[in-house]
Structure 1
Amino acid sequence: MTVLMRNQSARSEDLDIRSMNFGKFRSSLTFRIVLYICALQIFSFVAMFALSLVIGTNFIEGKDRQLLDAKLTEYESVLKAEGLKAIEARIEDQKSTKVDHEFYVRVLKLDGSLDLKQLPYDLDDFDESKVLTELSVFRGPKKSFELHSPTSWDDRFLGFSKQIDSNTILQVGKSVEDWEDFTNHLYKGFLKALLPFTLIGLLGGYLIAKRSLRPVRSMIRTMQLVGNGTTSERMNINKTDYEFASMVDVFNQMLERIELLITTMRDSLDSVSHDIRTPLTRIRTRAELALRGPTSEEDYRSALEECIENAAELSIFATTVMDISEAEAGTMKLDLVDIDSHQLLSEVVDLYDIVAQDAQILLEIEQDSEGVTFRGDRARIKQAVANLVDNAIKYSMRDSDVYLKAERVGGSVRISVRDEGMGIGPADIHRIWEKLFRADKSRSLPGLGLGLSTVASIAVAHGGSVKVESRVGEGSTFFFEVPS
């Protein structure tokens, strides 16, 4: 009993699963595409059937009308040339031929009296008086008529009636059985082919839908892998599928952007976690020393000032790292305005004039910097130039000069800062734009190693570039170039 209940429960669960899967399939795009294709195929099949019926019926009717017209002309010629006896003789001679015996032939007077008649071989049950009454109304030039058998509506006849002389009417008719046979065979063929044609439509629709939606399924699988952390996964598709190929290209570009954002964020977090410890340690150590024992108000004030100074350093560090990350990810927001390069350089010189004087360094703007204008984010570009000037002052010798210059090069504006400092060694020159990188000679000087990284990120955000030329012991020239 227990085994039986378990089997019934298992069957019930299996039916539930099948019902759920069918419900999902019924609401899917694949199911709708299959239905659309199948419906279109059935509609096309019905339209082809209707067209074939119309064309075939018209063709047979045209042939019958041509045949009736020929018979009417033949019998009219015989009647006029040889008389009624000749027609009777010809009809008797042709009765042995089934084709000629299919015709309904009558010769009658205008008063309705019958001179001659021939009934088709399959029209023995015709009510002669009914036929005579109905056909006697045809007078004058050639006219066509259609007649139904009195005993069967399916027995129809098409005929021509023509008045030969002032008192004689000739009528020739033919059964339209050929039409009925053709129509019946066509209907039967249609009904026999409808089910296989529908099944072929369903199968073909399913295969087409499965093939057409393959890129969508591939995209879903890729999304699932990306959702599980595999950000390097990409979609591949046949380039001949133009619409899907364009969609896949956009999707892959989106994945590349996501991967870049994640990688940039991860690197930024690594950088922050690596360099944030020193200021935090100083803040904690200074606070603990202030709280450890009896301390004067002046000591407390000094401790708080040091903590505030280190906190400000942390804030600047975090802001700079985030700015660089935004620029690398292509999400840095820029407020583009027209910039006068000479005015911008003058503002930077005024900003660092006191610092340069303390280091006994002269800041100079070269004369050909005047009249050079371009579009950019004024605050960001000023920050970049300021970083270059700060870097030049920091690594220059006393009693040396730092030169600032702006010039137009092709379709770009190039700002250069040249110093007469210690220079950069060949081993370090390719790494100076990296975040947190500091050459061995510069480790003794204050700094976070983010100044040149910030300059490079601002240039990239503007669609520009940076470059450096340097000789050890002679100085360096830093170039900041952006489109004009």
Structure 2
Amino acid sequence: MSSNRPDGTAAAGAQEVDVHKRAARVPPESPEEPGLLSRLNRRFLGRLNMRLSLIFSSVFLLGSALLFAATFFSLLTNLRQDDISHINARLLGFWAQFQSGGIDRIVQEIQVENLMMGERPYFVRISDADNNTLVQRYPLIWQNFNFKRLEQVQPDTTDGLITLDSPGVDYKLEVASIKLSPQYYLEVGMSTQSRKLILDLFQRNFFAISALLIVLSFVGGLFISSRTFKPVGQLNRTIRSIINTGKTDARIPVTSAHDELGELVVHFNEMLDRIDRLIREMRNSLDAVAHDLRTPLTRLRGLAELALKGPEDPAQYRKALESALEEAEIILRMLNTLMDISEAESGVMRLRIQPVPLHTLIEELADLYRFSADEKGVVVTTQLPSQVSIPGDPVRLRQVIGNLLDNAVKYTPEGGSVMVSLQDGPDAAVVTVKDTGIGIAEDEIPRIWTRLYRSRAVPMVPGLGLGLSLVKAIVEAHQGTVSVESAPGKGTSVEVRLPFSRAAAS
């Protein structure tokens, strides 16, 4: 039973516990969800064809801007030069009239022309040597221009044009001057209104056409890039399907194999075919290994159980251990051979390349197998040139020829023969092992290179079914080839081609 303390510590403690409970019930802060703009960026700008279309449109926009700037300034320069030419022509005309009739002649000319230069109005001013205005004519629409500024600038001190402004008007007056005589100056001006109208029209048309072309370029680029990168999208979907399902039977339809993306699709399909084939072979090999290991492991277990159940006899134990060791050696040899085949097929087998005298190696192996061949009544002969040497791994090449001789002697009945020949070709040494044995059925020839395959014609002949697989793997690791010609009852001929080039063999 609790009691409340006068100082209130119990209540404070209860309050503190309650606060902790409430704090524990507060849900953790959820990560901030991406905003709409971020999702749109990932959805649209994250796509390669969209980015390429934007890049293409940006390049087109930049090119259009450069073209507009160059065209605009070129047009502006030409129009300004044209205006200056008109002003200079009028100045020279008035100068000629002054020379023939003085200021009165110029005034008469102005009144006759009504201050129009073709369809364009112009401004005329005549001043004395002190820049005082003597005659000044201009259209009424220009009355708000600051003509007083002309009296502040001495005409003979300016080499170019004097520009006049007017409030509320978006164009200007450009005035040029000429000296009529030591006492008089003449100034003629024209407005930039027509020039501005032409430039504004050019600007509007150019921007309208450019905007339309940019939209068309973006849509066209998006369409073309989407069609171009369609194989990439199919490739992504296929890869995603393989990752999600683990099935490698999906393939990408080939639309065109004449470009880089088409070649990519073809090579990707070929890679999937090879992966699919390797997976099937691996599964078949695992099944075969499991099946073939079951027998020696069962015998090994039976030997151990038999020895344990029998009387305590050291001789019996020793015999059981010897038999178990033989079974373990079979298992170890099978696993080592499988590892050698896998290393050779995957390209990681380490070959100690050195000059290998094939004629000597074949003769040594033939002498070795003659002992077992003589016991079966099989004759082993050789047909070798004086000297043939290739770059290779002598240990691995010994395995190749030894396995071929072992198979030839094993599957040749009594009274048969085995011949090993060596030919010095132009670019490769050719080793042929030919026997007069039982032969191989035509439908079995493609399968004899498969791991753990045993011919159904001789199920009782001992062996692991790995010899020819190892032969093929080692020969191909030396960049060579191996082929078989055989027929049931007519013997078998195995031909191995090993290149002379060390670069090819290394």
TM-score, normalisation: structure 2? 0.78
Find the aligned partners of 2:332 and 2:240 in 1 and give their Cα distance. 38
Is the Cα contact below 8 Å between 1:158 and 1:174 reproduced in 2? yes
Displacement of 1:422 in angstroms is: 3.8
Q: Give the letter aligned to residue 273 of structure 1.
A: A
1:430 is aligned to 445
Displacement of 1:310 in angstroms is: 1.1
2:294 matched to 1:277? yes
Q: Give the letter aligned to residue 156 of structure 2.
A: F
Q: Please list every run of 5 or more consecutive structure 1 residues that lacks an aligned counterpart in the other structure.
A: 1-14
Find the aligned partners of 2:200 and 2:446 in 1 and give their Cα distance. 89
Deviates more, 1:45-54 or 1:325-334: 325-334
2:332 matched to 1:315? yes
Q: 1:59 aligns with which of 75, 78, 95?
A: 78
2:25 is aligned to none
2:372 matched to 1:355? yes
Is the Cα contact below 8 Å between 1:456 and 1:466 reproduced in 2? no
2:69 is aligned to 50
SS in structure 2 opposite 1:138?
helix
Deviates more, 1:190-199 or 1:268-277: 190-199
2:319 is aligned to 302
2:181 matched to 1:165? yes
Displacement of 1:415 in angstroms is: 0.9
Find the aligned partners of 2:496 and 2:263 in 1 and give their Cα distance. 36
Is the Cα contact below 8 Å between 2:171 and 2:191 reproduced in 1? yes
Q: 1:219 aligns with which of 232, 235, 242?
A: 235
SS in structure 1 opposite 2:186?
strand
Partner deviation per Cα, 1:288-336 (whole Å, 9 max, x = no partner): 2112232411111111211121121122223334444555566655444
1:407 is aligned to 423
Is the Cα contact below 8 Å between 1:264 and 1:328 reproduced in 2? no
Q: 1:138 aligns with which of 137, 149, 156?
A: 156
Q: Percent identity?
A: 26
Displacement of 1:64 in angstroms is: 0.7
Is the Cα contact below 8 Å between 2:238 and 2:252 reproduced in 1? yes
Find the aligned partners of 1:222 and 1:331 in 2 and give their Cα distance. 29
2:18 is aligned to none
Q: How does 1:197-236 map to 2 (within 5 A)?
A: 206-207=222-223, 210-227=226-243, 228-236=245-253
Q: Give the letter aligned to residue 445 of structure 2.
A: H
Find the aligned partners of 2:38 and 2:130 in 1 and give their Cα distance. 81
Is the Cα contact below 8 Å between 1:467 and 1:480 reproduced in 2? no
Displacement of 1:186 in angstroms is: 5.3
Aligned residues: 464
Displacement of 1:222 in angstroms is: 1.1
1:376 is aligned to 392
Q: C-alpha root-mean-square deviation of aligned residues, in Å? A: 3.6
SS in structure 1 opposite 2:156?
coil
Is the Cα contact below 8 Å between 1:156 and 1:177 reproduced in 2? yes
SS in structure 1 opposite 2:141?
coil
SS in structure 1 opposite 2:421?
strand
Q: Give the letter aligned to residue 43 of structure 2.
A: F
Q: Give the letter aligned to residue 71 of structure 1.
A: R
1:7 is aligned to none
SS in structure 1 opposite 2:445?
coil
Is the Cα contact below 8 Å between 2:411 and 2:437 reproduced in 1? yes
Find the aligned partners of 1:240 and 1:345 in 2 and give their Cα distance. 47
Q: 2:358 aligns with which of 341, 346, 350?
A: 341
Find the aligned partners of 1:475 and 1:219 in 2 and give their Cα distance. 49
SS in structure 2 opposite 1:277?
helix
Is the Cα contact below 8 Å between 2:115 and 2:122 reproduced in 1? no
Partner deviation per Cα, 1:3-46 (whole Å, 9 max, x = no partner): xxxxxxxxxxxx97967743532662446445534543443443
Residue 99 to residue 250, structure 1, CA distance change in 2 (3 Å):
same
2:125 is aligned to 106
1:459 is aligned to 475
2:193 matched to 1:177? yes
Partner deviation per Cα, 1:267-307 (whole Å, 9 max, x = no partner): 21122123222212211222221122324111111112111
2:406 is aligned to 390
1:260 is aligned to 277
Partner deviation per Cα, 1:396-435 (whole Å, 9 max, x = no partner): 455665332211234322112234x443265577367244
Is the Cα contact below 8 Å between 1:60 and 1:179 reproduced in 2? yes
Residue 377 to residue 267, structure 1, CA distance change in 2 (3 Å):
farther
Residue 243 to residue 394, structure 1, CA distance change in 2 (3 Å):
closer
2:101 matched to 1:86? no
Is the Cα contact below 8 Å between 1:60 and 1:178 reproduced in 2? no
2:40 matched to 1:22? yes
Find the aligned partners of 1:375 and 1:250 in 2 and give their Cα distance. 32
Q: Give the letter aligned to residue 168 of structure 1.
A: Y
2:17 is aligned to none
Displacement of 1:105 in angstroms is: 1.5
Displacement of 1:189 in angstroms is: 6.2
Is the Cα contact below 8 Å between 1:157 and 1:174 reproduced in 2? yes
Find the aligned partners of 1:384 and 1:45 in 2 and give their Cα distance. 70
Residue 96 to residue 21, structure 1, CA distance change in 2 (3 Å):
closer
Find the aligned partners of 1:440 and 1:209 in 2 and give their Cα distance. 57
Displacement of 1:60 in angstroms is: 1.5
Residue 390 to residue 240, structure 1, CA distance change in 2 (3 Å):
closer
Deviates more, 1:30-39 or 1:382-391: 30-39
Displacement of 1:220 in angstroms is: 1.0
Q: Please list every run of 5 or more consecutive structure 2 residues that lacks an aligned counterpart in the other structure.
A: 1-32, 501-506
SS in structure 2 opposite 1:406?
strand
Is the Cα contact below 8 Å between 2:482 and 2:494 reproduced in 1? no
SS in structure 2 opposite 1:430?
helix
